[in-house]
A = this chain, B = another copy of it.
Amino acid sequence: MRIAVIGAGALGLYYGALLQRAGNEVLFLLRRDYEAIIRQGLTVRSIAGDFHLDQVRGYRSPGEIGPVDLVLVGLKTFDNRLLPELLPPLLGPGTRVLTLQNGLGNEEALADLWDPGRVLGGVAFLCANRGEPGTVHHLGAGHIFLGAYKQENTSAAQETAQLFRDAGVRCEAVPDLVRARWEKLVWNIPFNGLCALLDKPVDALLAHGRSRQLVADIMGEVVAAANAQELSNSLDEALVGTMITFTEAMGPYRPSMQIDREEGRPLELEAIFARPLQRGKERGVAMPRAEALLALLEMAVGTGG
């Protein structure tokens, strides 16, 4: 299968590398890593075993890539404004587009530009960071839940999930993508937000009584907001405890938003905070702690508005 990866950060490079290793023709749209990858290929340093791809197809513009069977979108969500320029050259009659981005609003951004029936969304539980150019570090997990944006279109989701499984990724097609997105927000809102604000890794937050309680309380707010969204079935309150246990196993992991802030990039506040808070508010769910965290993050990075 011919697959384009746009937004080749840690997530795009990691899954793209696995898909290529499994025999697919993967075409990477590259910025920072272009020179290094063209010269020396792509290295994955992974808890599941390191590997190196000698020959990697890297491109500077989507026009050089042309139409593909599947577009994998790993852009930072604040770069979705680039989609009208990046996406069309990659589209052919049967192209499917899968976003593995964080937060809410990403499938909608794609469905503005392409047949909504060919839009898929996925939630990746992946701990990965970029290393030096041409290297990606896979630190933990990596499973994906994916679903069709239009719920009726399940064969596309099933086939795409199979593609990832064939590449060695634990991947499941889920009937309710919205539910999967909210489930990940239960993790993303507290950990991305608090780690980015305080510049502390996840284990630091869990090591102290009050901040651990704050994590749990924010998670509870997100569960409540999720369960006001007419999901196919409700998120269980017990998810809070499960996610905290899962996070403890990560050690001093730094979430993507913390790294974005350290490296001076914008933060994904719209997709991960503002839209979910808006959806909660529309359904009358109070999210005082998550709202406070958004206000603090905006002040901290100087985008208070």
Contact of A296 among B288, B296, B299, B304 (CB under 8 A): B296
Measured between C-beta atoms, what is the minimum distance from A190 to chain B in Å? 10
Per the 8 Å Cβ criterion, residues 212-231 of A in contact with B are: 213-214, 217-218
Beta-carbon contact of A210 and B289 below 8 Å? no
A49 at the interface (CB under 8 A from B): no
Main secondary structure of the interface of A (DSSP, over half): helix
Q: What 1/0 mask marks residues of chain A from 181 to 207 whose CB sits below 8 Å from any chain B CB?
A: 000000000000010011010001101
A197 CB contacts on chain B under 8 angstroms:
296
Number of interface residues of A (CB under 8 A): 28
A296 CB contacts on chain B under 8 angstroms:
194, 197-198, 211, 214, 296
Contact of A295 among B214, B288, B304, B305 (CB under 8 A): B214
Query: Known contacts A288-B288, A299-B198: does B209 contact A304 (CB below 8 Å)?
Result: yes
Query: Known contacts A198-B300, A288-B217, A300-B198: does B293 contact A210 (CB below 8 Å)?
Result: no
In the complex the two chains form, what is the Cα distance from A27 to B208 in whole Å?
A: 43
A248 at the interface (CB under 8 A from B): no
Contact of A292 among B200, B293, B300, B304 (CB under 8 A): B293
In the complex the two chains form, what is the Cα distance from A288 to B295 in whole Å?
A: 14
Per the 8 Å Cβ criterion, residues 100-116 of A in contact with B are: none
In the complex the two chains form, what is the Cα distance from A213 to B299 in whole Å?
A: 12
A291 at the interface (CB under 8 A from B): yes
Beta-carbon contact of B217 and A299 below 8 Å? no
Measured between C-beta atoms, what is the minimum distance from A302 to chain B in Å? 9
In the complex the two chains form, what is the Cα distance from A27 to B18 in whole Å?
A: 76
Most buried by B among A213, A214, A217: A214
In the complex the two chains form, what is the Cα distance from A37 to B296 in whole Å?
A: 41
**Which B-chain residue is minimally distant from A294 (CB atoms)?**
B210
Beta-carbon contact of A299 and B209 below 8 Å? no
In the complex the two chains form, what is the Cα distance from A13 to B134 in whole Å?
A: 61
A299 CB contacts on chain B under 8 angstroms:
194, 198, 200, 204-205, 208, 211
Query: Known contacts A208-B299, A298-B208, A299-B198: does B292 contact A214 (CB below 8 Å)?
Result: yes
Add 10 more A-B contacts to A208-B304, A211-B299 (CB < 8 A).
A194-B299, A204-B299, A208-B295, A209-B304, A209-B305, A210-B304, A211-B304, A214-B296, A217-B292, A289-B292
A-B contact pairs, 25 of them (CB 8 A): A194-B296, A194-B299, A197-B296, A198-B299, A198-B300, A200-B299, A204-B299, A208-B295, A208-B299, A208-B305, A209-B305, A210-B298, A211-B298, A211-B304, A213-B295, A214-B292, A217-B288, A217-B291, A217-B292, A218-B292, A288-B292, A289-B289, A289-B292, A292-B292, A292-B293
